Amino acid sequence: MKSFLTISLFVIIGLITAVLVGFRENLFAENIPYDAEQEGLNQQIIIKFSHVVAENTPKGLAALKFASIVKEKSGGQIEVQVFPNGMLYSESQGIDALRNGDIQMIAPAFSNLSLLIPQWLAMDLPYAFPNQKAVEEAFNGEIGAELFRTLESRNMKGLAFWSNGFKQMTNNRNPLISPEDFKQLNFRIMPSEVIAAQFRLLGARSTPLAFNEVYRSLLTGTVDGQENTISNIYTKRLYQTQNYMTLSNHGYLGYVVIINKPFWEGLPKQAQRIIRQAMEETTAWMNDQAVKMNQEQLELIRHSSDIKIDELDAAEREQWIKALEPVYRQFAPIIGEPLTSRIQSLRKKYIESAD
């Protein structure tokens, strides 16, 4: 009897040791330090990540890269399921679904948040960012921190800002060189009051439409034009429906990567750490990738279509900036004076340093 008990004890200790060693090895695979709270990771965690663009865009690729890094770092314990092309939800439905906890992650363009949280209109102000460095300073500084804070009371937690790039104008009727050239045109826009005001100031109309409807609306002439980044214009084949494109860099299209807040807070600390590390790596990669893709795809558009491409010179750009300046005064009370002033100071800093 005594020897039976001794053998049983050895077997039990052996089994426990094997399980613990195996589990630790799995977690150490990616140099993640051991932490007592990691035990929660032996249950699989599923994260549904919905977005509206194609898989071969900066955001589409970044979402896949993020999923793959998370899988690798967690040894498969955390699975990020990516749903591209609006296959689950349109932009606005996605925000509701995330807040309700039906999905766990989204990466909407800033404009799409502005209906719910007007401060996000700040990122749509025309010519707010003279260059990519200014954009990154906004993302990583007080402007980004203030915008992240607006998410917290709405069941959302901001994890990162992802770049896409500067927006360009396209249309079917005439080249857009001076503000007068916009008269009577109808542009598809994202749902943003600032963008609607921008087109009003140019004498044009605008129609908010979901991204998935843009190609068809341009093709059928429901709208005459639209504004977007080169990668969206290329991957959604919008350029094939348009006769003219102006490289205006008049606005910025970026994304905020958001996770459902209660879901985030319920994750084991180790899972949070893995997600944060994966997000940091993905963001650095994405910000590089977006600039490259926009450059390469502009050349692809040039060589594979008859679209006429104009680039604004300094004097022409000054005319656009002047025509659009009233948007700042109009929206400062809605966005909030401090945030509007921060954007204006950043803009001044980069215009003055011409860097």
Figure out which of the listed residues 50, 77, 186, 232 binds ligand SIN, where binding follows CB under 6 A: 232
**DSSP character string of 156-210:** EEEEEEEEEEEEEEEESSS---SGGGGTT-EEEE-S-HHHHHHHHHTT-EEEE--
Q: Which amino acid is at 104?
A: Q
Span 82-141, contacts to ligand SIN by CB under 6 A: 109
Sign of the alpha-carbon dihedral angle for 222, 227, 228, 229 = positive
Cβ nearer to ligand SIN, comparing 150 with 228: 228
How many Å apart are CA 325 and CA 318, to the nearest integer? 10
Binding mask 190-229 for ligand SIN (x = CB under 6 A): x--------------------x----------------x-
Sign of the alpha-carbon dihedral angle for 238, 134, 181, 109 = positive
Whole-number Cα distances in Å, 302 to 167, 170, 221, 279: 17, 14, 23, 34
In the complex, minimum distance from the CB of residue 112 to ligand SIN, in angstroms, rounded to a whole number: 7
Beta bridge partners of 228: 168
Binding mask 293-322 for ligand SIN (x = CB under 6 A): ------------------------------
Which residue is closest to ligand SIN by CB? 211
Cβ nearer to ligand SIN, comparing 108 with 268: 108
Cβ nearer to ligand SIN, comparing 50 with 232: 232
Size of the site for ligand SIN (CB under 6 A): 10
In the complex, minimum distance from the CB of residue 89 to ligand SIN, in angstroms, rounded to a whole number: 12
79 SS3 class: strand
Beta bridge partners of 189: 208
In the complex, minimum distance from the CB of residue 228 to ligand SIN, in angstroms, rounded to a whole number: 5
In the complex, minimum distance from the CB of residue 34 to ligand SIN, in angstroms, rounded to a whole number: 39
Q: Which of 248, 233, 238, 253 is nearest to 168 (CA)?
A: 248
Cβ nearer to ligand SIN, comparing 254 with 268: 254
Span 22-81, contacts to ligand SIN by CB under 6 A: 52-53, 59
**DSSP character string of 293-343:** HHHHHHHHHHHH---EEEE--HHHHHHHHHHHTHHHHHHHHHH-HHHHHHH
Binding mask 252-271 for ligand SIN (x = CB under 6 A): -x------------------
The two beta strands, 205-208 and 156-171, are unpaired
Cβ nearer to ligand SIN, comparing 27 with 301: 301
Query: Does residue 287 belong to the site contacting ligand SIN (CB under 6 A)?
Result: no
Span 146-175, contacts to ligand SIN by CB under 6 A: 164
In degrees and rounded to multiples of 5, residue 125 shows phi and psi of -60, 130
Cβ nearer to ligand SIN, comparing 93 with 344: 93
In the complex, minimum distance from the CB of residue 109 to ligand SIN, in angstroms, rounded to a whole number: 4
In the complex, minimum distance from the CB of residue 87 to ligand SIN, in angstroms, rounded to a whole number: 14
**Residues whose CB falls within 8 Å of the CB of residue 205, separated by 6 or more in sequence, listed in order:** 184, 185, 186, 187, 199
Judged by the rule CB under 6 A, the positions of this chain that interact with ligand SIN are 52-53, 59, 109, 164, 190, 211, 228, 232, 253
